[in-house]
Amino acid sequence: MDSTKIDTSDEMIEKFFDRKIDKVYPSMEELKVALKSGKRLKFYMGADATAPKLHIGHVLPFLKMADLQKMGHEIIFLIGDFTAMIGDPTDKTATRIKLTREIVTENAKNFLSQIDKIIDFDSTENPAKVQYNSEWNNKLDFEHILELASNFTVQQMVERDMFQKRLQSNKPIFLHEFLYPLIQGYDSVAMDVDGEFGGTDQTFNMLAGRELVKVYNKKNKFVITTKLLLSSDGINKMSKSLGNCIFIKDSSEEKYGKVMAIPDSLLKHYYELLSDKNEKEIAIITEQVGNNENPMQLKKDLAYLVVKMFDGDESAQKAQKNFEDIVQNRQIPSEIESISKDKLKSDGDITLKELIVKMGFVDSNSDAKRLIQENAVEVDDVILSDPNIKVDINSIKLVRAGKRKWKKII
């Protein structure tokens, strides 16, 4: 019998049900009763290893799981090394590119070091666990897959919004994409969990698991959805696929700068989901933004909070000083990456857009062109706005692209 002490205090339970949570299935009231019962419950959050980096939007459900871990409940971080090879069709208007097992395995290795700032895997009292869904999914034979499939209808799958969009635009839907919710749902059965966390975009898949747990484990599984953190455009969710992310593995300076770049209209949204500020404090932030007051300090406080969450207080202090020196006071950083003329492979004259690409500031000429036309490129203290202007590599010493990126040519 598990001897882990369960905290059933009203204070901890109320702390758990904060702004980050969107919905609970079957209901918040039933989950509160379960948390109050004193029974040790098992919760998990899964992440497919489709890319080597997680972004800060992934953190919201982990923050909620961290609360439950402190209350004494069992917490599992499930790495979807098997499901990553199928490809989650959620919110995708086109078929995902299939990944090889080698790529998925390499991506999975990077996950734990990114999330261990939030979830405690080394606790002496209640360590979080790590599992890989290939452990059981590799053992599924065709008979088992057919049995799983018998619990759902084609109509249930086709009614999904992203499949409807594909049908309307005459884009293909492959059978393996129909299987994804079944395989993800089976994770809940295999681990015999009491609850699963995920963003609102994962509701269909998690509810599929809830149905399978009812059938195979004869119990109800809670599904807890957390709100989605929006990207800087204020429209799309932060997404690895879209590439509009503040990544956990970004440097402290990069994370700080990306937060500083979010529009004023998103300040309330970010504070609501990433901070512990109370409703009165959030209302003050909303009022300040609505009155068009200068939000610089609000952004700096938010950027500091985000960096501190992942990199610690000292790194947050350094990132803030770096931003103030380089962006606000336009000082040149003391440490700048050097690139040799030989590496640039040019005998002399080169277009500015080609130089920006060769120096690694951006990946393509079109990105370089956009950056230059935004007056965001500076060569030896001179802002240049013509992407096709010829520059002499042999005479250039210092290049800035964007507000925070500097490189010198040696």
Q: What is the pLDDT of residues 298-349, one digit of tens each?
A: 999 999 999 999 999 999 999 999 888 877 766 666 667 787 877 776 655 7
Query: What residues have CB less than 8 Å from 382, skipping those under 6 apart?
Result: none
Q: What is the pLDDT of residue 49?
A: 78
Q: What is the pLDDT of residue 177?
A: 81
Q: What is the pLDDT of residue 181?
A: 87
Question: Residues 48, 52, 53, 58: what is their CA dihedral angle, to the nearest 10 degrees?
Answer: 10
Q: What is the pLDDT of residue 323?
A: 87
**DSSP bridge pairs for 117:** none
Give the mean pLDDT of 103-109: 78
Residues carrying CATH 3.10.290.10, the chain: 337-409
* pTM, full prediction: 0.76
In this predicted model, what pLDDT tens digit does every residue of 255-273 receive, in sequence order?
998 898 888 889 999 999 9
Percent of the chain scoring above 90 in pLDDT: 43
Per-chain mean pLDDT for the chain: 86
- Check residues 235 and 39 and name the one with the higher pLDDT: 39
Length of the chain: 410
Return the residue matching tokens 């971080």. 77
**DSSP bridge pairs for 409:** 339
CB 356 within 8 A of CB 368: yes
The lowest-confidence range among 26-30, 50-54, 276-280, 375-379 is: 50-54
Question: Residues 242, 162, 226, 108: what is their CA dihedral angle, to the nearest 10 degrees?
Answer: -50
Instruction: Specify the CATH number of the domain 337-409.
Output: 3.10.290.10
Q: What is the pLDDT of residue 130?
A: 93
- How far apart (Å, rounded) are the C-alpha atoms in residues 325 and 148? 58
CB 237 within 8 A of CB 227: no
- Using 50, 70 and 90 to split pLDDT, how confident is the model at 8? very high
Which of 212, 16, 181, 18 minimizes the C-alpha distance to 89?
A: 181
- Check residues 407 and 34 and name the one with the higher pLDDT: 34
Q: What is the pLDDT of residue 148?
A: 92
Query: What residues have CB less than 8 Å from 76, skipping those under 6 apart?
Result: 42, 43, 44, 45, 128, 129, 130, 131, 191, 193
Q: What is the pLDDT of residue 1?
A: 46
- Check residues 64 and 378 and name the one with the higher pLDDT: 64
**DSSP bridge pairs for 132:** 79
The lowest-confidence range among 87-96, 193-202, 212-221, 282-291 is: 87-96
> Which class does domain 10-226 fall in?
alpha beta
Residues carrying CATH 3.40.50.620, the chain: 10-226
- Using 50, 70 and 90 to split pLDDT, how confident is the model at 88? low
Q: What is the pLDDT of residue 306?
A: 95
CB 147 within 8 A of CB 138: no
- Using 50, 70 and 90 to split pLDDT, how confident is the model at 93? very low
Give the mean pLDDT of 156-180: 84
- Check residues 376 and 123 and name the one with the higher pLDDT: 123
Q: What is the pLDDT of residue 240?
A: 64
- How far apart (Å, rounded) are the C-alpha atoms in residues 13 and 10? 5
Q: What is the pLDDT of residue 315?
A: 96
- Check residues 113 and 347 and name the one with the higher pLDDT: 113
Exposure on the CB side of residue 114, measured as CA atoms within 13 A: 24
Query: What residues have CB less than 8 Å from 210, skipping those under 6 apart?
Result: 25, 185, 188, 196, 220, 221, 223
